[in-house]
Amino acid sequence: RLDCGLARTGGELVAFRALQGVCNAMAIPASISVISTSVAKGRSRNLGFACLGFSGPLGSLLGLVLSGVFVDSVGWRPVFYLVAASSFALCGLGLWVLPRNVQCQADRSRSIRKQLMFDIDWVGTLLVGFGLATISYVLAMLSSDTHKIRRNPNMALLVLGISCIPASICWMSYRVKHDRPALIPNALWRDASFTSVCVMIAFANAVINGMELYSGLFFQQVQAISALEASLRILPALVMAVMANITCGCFVNRMPVMWVVVVSSALSAVLPLLMALVKPEWSYWNMAFVAQVLQPLSTNVLFTIDILVISAVFSPRTQALGGAVLNTCSQLGTSIGLTITAVVTDSRTAATTSDDLSHTLMVGYRLAFRVLFGWMVLVCLAGALGLRNIGKIGTKQD
């Protein structure tokens, strides 16, 4: 975080932000493994996963609020300085608080060098990493200008990225057949509940990030309010993020999972529709307030339930892997979602002929909110179909 605040060029800032993504990708699977191996099944573990669940959206929303305060006062660099100081403090606290032996018992007679050579699927890691990186890069290019896809380098990268998907599937199958560790065994996707939670978290994250982005743009560019005021209008989502996860952690073991997911997703599906119907001259308390309050409901509930599903269907040795795959789907869904909404918004805005800039922007934003509404409907369908055979989870085992 400190390096982001010290960045001198846009390229440096992008590179340092990429390193932040690596840290996040390492932290979430490790956190899932720590909780699943250190806390007994039941309400305590449910609350542990709930706290892990709301930490991400809570941090994201809190960052939006604080960034609005800092940008309008002292600038954007102190935001990263504050986060860096907090990270250093939490790192020191983690060295003292976190358990030391939470990993599965491995063959300690083998050296670390041999474990790195033979226990890690390096080829699979390169295939998946290169595929995701190139696809994400091309999507980022498309989000800024759809005509960039016509350039030969971007087209070549897109083809290479997509070709890595079947190549990685074949490679994983080969590794499993020869009794060698595979990065993501294909058998992982045969579990309908796991596949459905990955699909749901991908679309749900696309929706919540799209809601945060276009709600902020609506407040600032259409209603012409300051960044600080826009941040304050997103503030109610912080309270809901905490309440949703704590409530889910306390009561998820008392009700069927499918209905929890379907009901929360159905409520969240209404929110983009409200933002698509809201008029710029309306008061914040008319529709926008309700949309902001319930914005994080589905994503926070889904994250907690998804981790509980992983801990229920996978062994302790593979739960961290399941969490890593879930986190990858979450990040990929965010990347693809923001790209698609940016493309449809820019296309709709470009096709609108109006001298009123705010009206032109609002036409594009309305279409983006309708797309987000459709994705939340898909989340409802995925939950109803993929989780129909799962009853209650997170119950205590004696």
The pLDDT of residue 352 is: 75
Q: What is the pLDDT of residues 214-260, one digit of tens each?
A: 888 888 888 888 777 777 787 777 777 777 777 777 777 777 788 88
CA distance linking residue 26 with residue 33, whole number of Å: 11
Question: Which of 117-131, 163-177, 231-245, 326-340 is the least confident region?
Answer: 231-245
> Is it the case that residue 10 has pLDDT exceeding 50?
yes
> For residue 240, what are its two tokens?
């809901």
Residue 389: how many CB atoms within 10 A of its CB? 9
Q: Residue 153 contacts by C-beta under 8 Å, 6 or more apart in sequence?
A: none
User: Residue 346, exposed/middle/buried by CB under 10 A (0-12, 13-18, 19+)?
Assistant: middle
Long-range contacts of 80-84 (CB under 8 A, 24+ apart): 80/1, 80/2, 80/4, 80/5, 81/1, 81/2, 81/5, 83/1, 84/1, 84/2, 84/5
> For residue 77, what are its two tokens?
């660099």
- 98-103: average pLDDT: 62
Nearest Cα residue to 250 out of 258, 242, 238: 242
Q: What is the pLDDT of residues 263-310, one digit of tens each?
A: 888 888 888 888 888 888 888 888 888 888 887 788 878 877 877 777
> For residue 233, what are its two tokens?
């209008």
Distance from the first to the final alpha carbon of the chain: 44
Q: What is the pLDDT of residues 367-388, one digit of tens each?
A: 999 999 999 999 999 888 888 7
CA distance linking residue 139 with residue 120, whole number of Å: 29
- The number of angstroms, rounded, from the C-alpha of 393 to the middle of its chain's C-alpha atoms is 22
Share of the chain above pLDDT 90, in %: 5
The pLDDT of residue 191 is: 79
Q: Is residue 93 within 8 Å of 129, Cβ to Cβ? A: no
Residue 96: how many CB atoms within 10 A of its CB? 6
DSSP category for residue 179:
T
> Is it the case that residue 71 has pLDDT exceeding 90?
no
The pLDDT of residue 205 is: 87
What letter represents residue 82's amino acid? L
| Angle value at C-alpha 345, between 340 and 346, nearest 5 degrees | 100
> For residue 293, what are its two tokens?
């309050």
What letter represents residue 310's amino acid? I
CA distance linking residue 75 with residue 38, whole number of Å: 42
For residue 282, which phi and psi values (nearest 5 degrees)? -75, 155
Q: Is residue 67 within 8 Å of 231, Cβ to Cβ? A: yes
Q: What is the pLDDT of residues 164-195, one digit of tens each?
A: 889 989 998 988 888 888 888 888 788 788 88
> Is it the case that residue 396 has pLDDT exceeding 60?
no
Share of the chain above pLDDT 70, in %: 87
Q: Which CATH class is domain 43-73+190-386?
A: mainly alpha
Residue with structure tokens 């229920």?
312
Nearest Cα residue to 20 out of 72, 63, 71: 63
